[in-house]
Amino acid sequence: MAKANKVVPESKQALDQLKYEIAAELGLPVGKSMANANVEFATELGAIPSGSVKEDYWGHIASRDAGAVGGAITSRLIRKAEEMMLNL
């Protein structure tokens, strides 16, 4: 399967910021400090090789909660687009 090219590659940082902002609003324990603790523990158990995780860890978050973050991102992006269209 070919990797899809992003339409606006520069949006990754803004979307990541929005993702963590929404996760914090929902009270989900994600972020660098939680990632480091979980990766360190998993590495000690031998579950993952040392240094193999390159981004924050979301494996402990329920699918329902992760979906809520994605849904909230979509809602905010649609709301922002509608606001921008009204101002044209």
Q: Residue 34 sits in which domain range?
A: 27-86
pLDDT (0 to 100) of residue 59: 84
**What pTM was estimated for this model as a whole?**
0.64
| Residue 51, domain member (yes or no) | yes
pLDDT (0 to 100) of residue 52: 44
pLDDT digit string, tens, across residues 26-79 = 988 887 655 455 555 555 555 445 544 445 778 888 999 999 999 999 999 999
pLDDT (0 to 100) of residue 67: 96
| Residue 71, domain member (yes or no) | yes
**Total structural domains within the chain:** 1
Q: Please tell me the distance from the alpha carbon of residue 13 to that of residue 41, in angstroms, as a whole number.
A: 27
| Residue 18, domain member (yes or no) | no
pLDDT digit string, tens, across residues 1-13 = 566 777 888 888 8
| Residue 21, domain member (yes or no) | no
